[in-house]
Structure 1
Amino acid sequence: MRLVKTSSVEANTKLGKAIYNEQGRILINKGVALEGRMLKRLLELGITFIYIEDRQTEDLVIHDPISDPLKREALTTIATTFHKIYTEPLESKSFILEKSIKEYKAVIKHIMSELNEKPKLMSILSDVCVHDTYIFTHSLNVTLYSLAVGMELKLPSDKLEAIGLGALMHDIGKVSVPKEILMKPGKLNDEEYAVVKQHSTAGFELLRNTHTVPLLVSHCAFQHHERLDGSGYPRGLRGNDIHDYAKIVAVADVFDAVTSHRVYREAMLPHEGLEMLYAGSERHFHPKIVKAFQNSVAIYPVGITVSLNDGRKGVVVKQNKSLNDRPVVRIIETGGFPVEPYEINLAEELSLVVTECDTTYNGR
């Protein structure tokens, strides 16, 4: 199967990987021929990339970061807690959160267990999911990325649990943001953005007043928008004044934000999001954390079409864990002409590099 931009897909192309909603229900199953109205609807729902069936890559297997049952469990836990806190009066919010913490901790342990069993590079692009509320999927994605970074840094399990819990609840303060602002289908104006920025402090106050939440977890909500050079918010903290957990969550938060579709801009591909992190390394983000993030994420996801510096074009079929910018590529074109497919390992062909990604689909 091939990973392509939804907007480039022609009608009647067959879907290569099922598309789910947040409850884990299949919206469009694998093998379904995508009609024009279905493709239009996917774009309206913010599905920027999809996998389609392709004879040259029909043998490819796409591995999701976590299992479908665990994904449903996590999203249900996040959504249920957020909805309850949003609708209940202020004096009840901490009580609701206290009752939910046990479930949150169980989810984190399950995620850690599955990630330990799958020592592969993470690719959330492979998990094609239509979300009704971006914040729920975002919270889960940030948790997956944060835990992957923590594991890459060889942190002990107790610290990983704290980071996971902080990541899962880093945006809990957005329950204080009016829905008309949070769900606005477009870019926020300055006044609206000022309201959204208050979510860091609101989340910290809510979490620190919840007795079952460690204070360091609360600081993930408080500090995930702080930046090393003091340009972040809410307090403009610098360098070592920002907790290491929050520094990890900050990197995961930005990467997921820029690689997710928003109404006012299309999603970046993973290598583009990583370039953005490196551009802010040392100034905004800790270089060690950015490097650990790079080592944890599939920069070129399986199924994406890439061009090489010698003019050949191919599809990524496998990752190299220690050299994730040098995957195994199945060559399908040379000099613009189709060839009998064959594979090369960029980890062994050091003179070759990926020069660009091509997510358009020409039907070949």
Structure 2
Amino acid sequence: MRLLPIHMCREGMKLAKKIYSEEGLVLLAEQVELTSKLIARLSECGVSFVYIQDPRTADLVVPDLISEETRQHALQEIRTNFRGMMDKPNRKSGATYPYIAKPFREVMNMVIDDLTSQKDAMLMLMNMGIVDDYLFQHSLNVCVYSTLLGIASGYTREQLMTLGLGAMLHDIGKTQISSSLLKKTGSLTRDEYEEMKRHAERGFYLLKDEPNIPLLAAHCAYQHHERLDGSGYPRGIKGDEIHEYAKWIGLVDSYDAMTSTRIYRNPMLPHQAVEALYTGTGTLYEQRMLQTFRDKVAIYPLGVTVKLQTGESGVVVDIKASCPHRPVVRVLQDVAGMDLKKPYEVDLSTQLTMMISSVNEDPRLAEVSGA
């Protein structure tokens, strides 16, 4: 299989991985043949990348971080409970029936079980579906990514539960902000921006008295936009005043926002987002956290098309946990862009003089041999 930007897809290509609906249900299954109308529709619905079949990479299997069952259950609970709060604007602090702790704890147990069952699991792109409401998928993504980083940091299951709940609910305050403001495509006015920033404080007050939701999870919602140098909001706290969990969530929140399709811009690829995050080393994010993050993220996702500095092009077919930024590339085209009769693989973790020069930049790479 190959990972292609939707704008590089062509009629006749066949899907190699499922496309999910907003509810986490399977919208398009493997083997579905793409048409021009289907490609256009997927693009309109916010699908930026798809996995397509290619006989030259037929042996490539891209694992999912969480199971289809977990994805569906999580998105259903996030959607149902968040929309219930959207229907009750200006909700006061303290619980109102139904309590949200039970369903979200069930989701977290499923997420933790899925992630801990995988050895050397890498942080992979999860945005392979229709995005009608960014808030729901984003909440799940940040939860899964943060939990994976918590596992890498040696957290106990109870610590993972608190971190994961804080991550899943970090943006719950946005349920108290008007949908028109959340989905505005143009620049926000000063007043609108100030209103948007209030979601952090509102999230804290929604969660702080909720039965069986740890108070620390409420503080994650409160602090996830705070930054090391005090430039964040809502309180401008800095350094050790910000809880470690909130620092993780703030980092992952930024990463997922960069790599997701938004109504006002196209997504970045992981290597671009990681590079952008590193510009905030020591000012916005802790260096040790960025290093752990970089060591766990698939900077060049499996299946992505890359060009080497030699001029040859190919597909990332393996990622070594010990060196994720130096993947194994199956070279498919020579420097002239001609398909090789005998593709070969280059392990960049051992071939240190070879570098990736670009990703998904040559439209000729959208042509899939034998499809």
- TM-score for both structures, normalised by structure 1: 0.95
Distance 2:42 2:192 in 1: 28
User: Structure 2 counterpart of 1:302, which letter?
Assistant: L
Aligned length: 364
After superposition, the Cα gap between the structure-2 partners of 1:96 and 1:345, relative to the gap in structure 1 and judged at 3 Å, is: farther
After superposition, the Cα gap between the structure-2 partners of 1:92 and 1:51, relative to the gap in structure 1 and judged at 3 Å, is: same
1:99 is paired with a residue whose SS is coil
Q: Please say which of residues 269-278 and 304-313 is displaced more in the overlay.
A: 304-313
Q: Which residue of 2 aligns with 1:363?
A: 367
After superposition, the Cα gap between the structure-2 partners of 1:154 and 1:98, relative to the gap in structure 1 and judged at 3 Å, is: farther
**Superposition pairs of residues 209-358 of structure 1, within 5 angstroms:** 209-336=209-336, 337-339=338-340, 340-358=342-360
User: Structure 1 counterpart of 2:219, which letter?
Assistant: H
Aligned-pair distance for 1:40?
1.1
Q: Which residue of 2 aligns with 1:16?
A: 16
Aligned-pair distance for 1:67?
0.3
CA contact (8 A) 2:173 2:203 kept: yes
Q: Which residue of 1 aligns with 2:100?
A: 100
Q: Which residue of 1 aligns with 2:203?
A: 203
Q: CA RMSD in A?
A: 1.8
Deviations 1:250-307 (A, max 9, x none): 0010000000001211000011111111111111011111111112211111100112
Deviations 1:103-130 (A, max 9, x none): 2112112111110111244354255111
Q: Which residue of 2 aligns with 1:193?
A: 193
User: Structure 2 counterpart of 1:109, which letter?
Assistant: N
Kindly, what percent of the aligned residue pairs are identical?
38
Deviations 1:204-241 (A, max 9, x none): 11111224222211110001001111111101111111
Distance 2:184 2:114 in 1: 35
Distance 1:333 1:302 in 2: 18
**Superposition pairs of residues 61-100 of structure 1, within 5 angstroms:** 61-88=61-88, 94-96=94-96, 99-100=99-100
Distance 1:258 1:76 in 2: 24
After superposition, the Cα gap between the structure-2 partners of 1:16 and 1:174, relative to the gap in structure 1 and judged at 3 Å, is: same
CA contact (8 A) 1:121 1:297 kept: no
User: Structure 1 counterpart of 2:360, which letter?
Assistant: D
CA contact (8 A) 2:93 2:205 kept: no
After superposition, the Cα gap between the structure-2 partners of 1:144 and 1:71, relative to the gap in structure 1 and judged at 3 Å, is: same
Distance 2:351 2:300 in 1: 17
Q: Which residue of 2 aligns with 1:25?
A: 25
CA contact (8 A) 1:230 1:236 kept: yes
Distance 1:147 1:208 in 2: 21
Aligned-pair distance for 1:44?
0.8
CA contact (8 A) 1:186 1:263 kept: no
Distance 1:120 1:204 in 2: 33
Q: Please say which of residues 348-357 and 244-253 is displaced more in the overlay.
A: 348-357
1:129 is paired with a residue whose SS is coil
Aligned-pair distance for 1:93?
6.8
User: Structure 2 counterpart of 1:362, which letter?
Assistant: A
Q: Which residue of 1 aligns with 2:36?
A: 36
After superposition, the Cα gap between the structure-2 partners of 1:142 and 1:91, relative to the gap in structure 1 and judged at 3 Å, is: closer
Deviations 1:66-113 (A, max 9, x none): 000001111111111111122236567742477220221121121111
Distance 1:297 1:186 in 2: 31
Aligned-pair distance for 1:35?
1.3
**Superposition pairs of residues 141-180 of structure 1, within 5 angstroms:** 141-180=141-180
Distance 1:98 1:217 in 2: 19
1:262 is paired with a residue whose SS is coil
Distance 2:3 2:275 in 1: 20
User: Structure 1 counterpart of 2:238, which letter?
Assistant: R
After superposition, the Cα gap between the structure-2 partners of 1:14 and 1:189, relative to the gap in structure 1 and judged at 3 Å, is: farther
Q: Gapped runs of 5+ residues in structure 2?
A: none
Distance 2:285 2:98 in 1: 32
CA contact (8 A) 1:84 1:96 kept: no
Q: Which residue of 2 aligns with 1:111?
A: 111
Distance 2:244 2:261 in 1: 28
User: Structure 1 counterpart of 2:201, which letter?
Assistant: T
CA contact (8 A) 1:101 1:213 kept: yes
After superposition, the Cα gap between the structure-2 partners of 1:44 and 1:143, relative to the gap in structure 1 and judged at 3 Å, is: same
Distance 2:182 2:126 in 1: 26
CA contact (8 A) 1:228 1:283 kept: yes
**Higher share in helix:** 1
After superposition, the Cα gap between the structure-2 partners of 1:282 and 1:97, relative to the gap in structure 1 and judged at 3 Å, is: farther
